[in-house]
C-alpha cells in the first residue's frame, strides 16, 4: 500500500487526518448533538411519498436553483425574507465552504473565537484561507468590546461567530454581533446551527441593511434531519449570488430537495420535541451540578461539563456501559448531548455510579 509521500498531495495537507467523530454502535449515542427523538411516522411517510415521486425523474438533473425550497425556507424563518435571500447545500458545512470559496482564499483571512466548531479551521485550510482563533473570555463568553477589538486588530476578510457556540453551548447576544459587524468591512458569518434551542433572539433580525452579514442554519439538529444533509443560509441577495458563483452544478439533489420540502411542511410537528430536548438539557445541568461537577451555560441541545480528573477514563467507562459521549479536547471536560428522557436517565445514572 502506498502512502502520502508517494503521491503528489498538496503540501499543506500532509500530516492531516479526515474530520469525524466516532461512529460506534451503542444503545445510547449522545456524542454528535443529534436529535435522538427521530422522525415522526406521519413525516416519514410524507418524505417517502415525495421521494417516490422524484425517482421517476432521476434521469434528469435536479432543479439547479431550487426556488421552491428557498421559498419554503424563507417562510420558515420569517423576518420578511425573500426566496432570493436563501441558499441551501448539503449540510451547513458546505454552506460555510462555499462562503470561504467566495470570500476567502489566500489573499484573505478568517478569524473566530475558540474553543469553537472544529470544522472552521478545516474549511479554512481546504479553501487556502489563513485562519486564526482568538481565545474566548472567562467561562467561554464573548463581550462586544472584546470581539470588536480582536476584529479591528486583525482586520480579517471573514469572521465566524457560532451562536450558540459548539462545543461550549454559549449563546452570543445581538450586541456582540452588531459590534462585530461594525468593526470591519468583511463578511460576518453567524453560525446558528442550534438556534432553535436558544432563548437569544436570532441574528436574522439584524439582516436588513447589512449586506455583509450571513446567517447559517441547518436542519440536522432541531429537525432531526442529520442524515439528509440539509444546511442553508440567509443573507442579502447579492451575497447569495456570490455563493451561486462557486457552487458545483446541480449540487443539491432532487431527493434532498424533496425530503427537505416534506420536512418543512411539518415544521411545527418536528419542532415539538425541541422543548423536551431543552428540558433534558436543563436536567443534565441540574444533576451534574449536584454531583459536584460544573456545567457551563448552554443555549443548545448539549452541555459542556467540567470537573473530571481524567476525561478519557470517564469517556471509556461510559462507553463500556453503552453510553457514547464526546471528549472535545478541553481539559477536564466532556460534552453530553441531551437525548430522550430514558437516554438522559441512563447517562446520569451511569455517571453518578462512577463518581460515587
* Distances 141 to 170, 298, 331, 335 between C-alpha atoms, Å: 7, 11, 17, 17
| pLDDT at 246 (0 to 100) | 97
Query: Using CA atoms in the order 321, 323, 329, 330, what is the torsion angle rounded to 10 degrees?
Result: -100
Those residues whose C-beta lies under 8 Å from the C-beta of residue 236, and which sit 6 or more positions away, are 85, 207, 210, 211, 212, 213
| Cell of residue 174, nine digits | 445581538
Secondary structure in 3-state letters for the chain: CCCHHHCCCCHHHCCCCCCCCCCCCCCEECCCCCCCCCCCHHHHHHHHHHHHHHHCCCCCCCCCCCHHHHHHHHHHHCCCCCHHHEEEECCHHHHHHHHHHHHCCCCCCEEEEECCCCHHHHHHHHCCCCEEEEECCHHHCCCHHHHHHHHHHHCCCEEEEECCCCCCCCCCCHHHHHHHHHCCCCEEEEECCCHHHCCCCCHHHHCCCCCCEEEEEECCCCCCCHHHCCEEEEECHHHHHHHHHHCCCCCCCHHHHHHHHHHHCCHHHHCCHHHHHHHHHHHHHHHHHHCCCEECCCCCCEEEEECCCCHHHHHHHHHHCCEECECCCCCCEEEEECCCHHHHHHHHHHHHHHHC
Render each residue's pLDDT in the chain as its tens digit; 356 residues. 777 888 898 988 888 888 877 788 999 999 999 999 999 999 999 999 999 999 999 999 999 999 999 999 999 999 999 999 999 999 999 999 999 999 999 999 999 999 999 999 999 999 999 999 999 999 999 999 999 999 999 999 999 999 999 999 999 999 999 999 999 999 999 999 999 999 999 999 999 999 999 999 999 999 999 999 999 999 999 999 999 999 999 999 999 999 999 999 999 999 999 999 999 999 999 999 999 999 999 999 999 999 999 999 999 999 999 999 999 999 999 999 999 999 999 999 999 999 87
pLDDT at residue number 225: 96
**Domains of the chain in sequence order:** 21-39+271-355 (3.90.1150.10), 41-265 (3.40.640.10)
Listed residue (25, 29, 2, 50) closest to 343, CA to CA:
29
Report the distance separating Cα 199 and Cα 169, nearest Å. Answer: 12
- Using CA atoms, how far apart are residues 163 and 283, in angstroms rounded to an integer? 21
Give the Cα separation of 252 and 237 in Å (integer): 19
Amino acid at each position: 500500500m502506498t502512502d502520502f509521500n508517494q503521491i503528489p498531495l498538496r503540501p499543506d495537507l500532509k500530516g492531516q487526518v479526515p474530520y469525524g467523530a466516532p461512529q460506534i454502535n451503542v444503545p445510547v449515542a449522545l456524542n454528535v448533538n443529534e436529535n435522538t427523538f427521530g422522525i415522526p411516522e406521519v413525516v416519514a411517510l410524507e418524505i417517502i411519498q415525495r421521494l417516490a415521486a422524484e425517482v421517476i425523474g432521476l434521469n434528469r438533473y435536479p432543479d439547479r436553483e431550487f426556488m421552491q425550497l428557498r421559498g419554503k425556507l424563507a417562510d420558515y424563518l420569517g423576518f420578511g425574507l425573500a426566496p432570493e435571500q436563501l441558499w441551501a447545500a448539503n449540510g451547513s458545512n458546505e454552506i460555510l465552504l462555499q462562503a470561504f470559496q467566495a470570500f476567502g482564499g489566500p489573499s484573505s483571512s478568517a478569524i473566530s473565537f475558540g474553543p469553537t466548531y472544529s470544522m472552521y479551521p478545516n474549511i479554512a485550510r481546504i479553501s487556502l484561507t489563513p485562519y486564526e482563533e482568538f481565545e474566548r473570555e472567562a467561562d467561554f463568553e464573548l463581550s462586544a468590546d472584546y470581539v470588536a477589538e480582536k476584529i479591528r486588530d486583525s482586520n480579517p476578510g471573514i469572521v465566524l461567530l457560532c451562536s450558540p457556540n459548539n462545543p461550549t453551548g454559549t449563546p452570543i447576544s445581538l450586541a456582540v454581533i452588531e459590534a462585530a459587524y461594525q468593526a470591519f468591512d468583511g463578511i460576518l458569518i453567524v453560525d446558528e446551527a442550534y438556534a432553535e434551542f436558544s432563548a437569544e433572539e436570532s441574528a436574522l433580525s439584524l439582516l436588513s441593511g447589512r449586506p455583509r452579514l450571513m446567517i447559517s442554519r441547518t436542519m440536522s439538529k432541531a429537525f432531526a434531519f442529520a442524515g439528509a444533509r440539509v444546511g442553508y443560509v440567509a443573507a442579502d441577495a447579492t451575497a447569495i449570488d456570490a455563493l451561486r458563483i462557486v457552487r458545483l452544478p446541480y449540487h443539491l439533489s432532487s431527493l434532498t430537495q424533496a425530503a427537505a420540502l416534506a420536512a418543512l411542511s411539518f415544521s411545527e410537528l418536528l419542532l415539538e420535541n425541541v422543548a423536551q430536548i431543552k428540558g433534558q438539557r436543563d436536567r443534565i445541568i441540574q444533576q451534574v451540578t449536584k454531583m459536584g461537577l460544573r456545567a457551563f451555560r448552554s443555549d443548545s441541545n448539549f452541555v459542556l461539563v467540567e470537573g473530571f480528573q481524567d476525561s478519557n477514563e470517564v469517556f471509556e467507562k461510559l462507553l463500556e456501559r453503552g453510553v457514547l459521549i464526546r471528549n472535545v479536547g478541553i481539559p477536564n471536560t466532556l460534552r453530553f448531548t441531551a437525548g430522550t428522557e430514558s437516554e438522559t436517565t441512563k447517562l446520569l445514572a451511569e455517571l453518578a455510579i462512577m463518581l460515587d
